Amino acid sequence: MEVNESLIDKLAHLSKLTFTEQEKKDIATDLQNMIGFVEKLKELNLADVEPLMHMSDEVNVLRDDEIKGSISREEALSNAPETDGRFFLVPKVIKK
């Protein structure tokens, strides 16, 4: 695939971006390098390699639910800036 100025202009139009002439040259170089890398990957012999659906064989690796202790209400409220003894008090953010 050839990277030319018309391709850069088309990509710029599709992405609603504008580039200076120097930026266009830099983008063309970067795109050509990326395309060269993909072309290099095409040289690999993958005839005996099965396609992967996932990177590992693990499926839904979840931990078991465990009931653990919790802190008391008094401990939870001990560091709060304001409380009413049962709940945290926070500033009102919605005005009616």
Domain assignment of residue 86, yes or no: no
Domain assignment of residue 73, yes or no: no
Which is more confidently placed, 9 or 1? Answer: 9
CA dihedral of residues 9, 15, 18, 21 (deg, nearest 10): -40
As for how many domains the chain has, the answer is: 1
The amino acid at 75: E
SS3 9: helix
How many CA within 13 A on the CB side of residue 74? 0
CATH of the domain at 16: 1.10.20
Average pLDDT over residues 21-39: 94
How many CA within 13 A on the CB side of residue 63? 3
Q: Supply the range of the domain harboring residue 26.
A: 5-41
pLDDT 10s digits, 31-69: 999 999 999 988 999 889 888 887 887 777 788 888 888
Checking if the pLDDT of 29 tops 90, the result is: yes
Average pLDDT over residues 15-31: 94
pTM of the entire predicted model: 0.48
First to last CA, the chain: 61
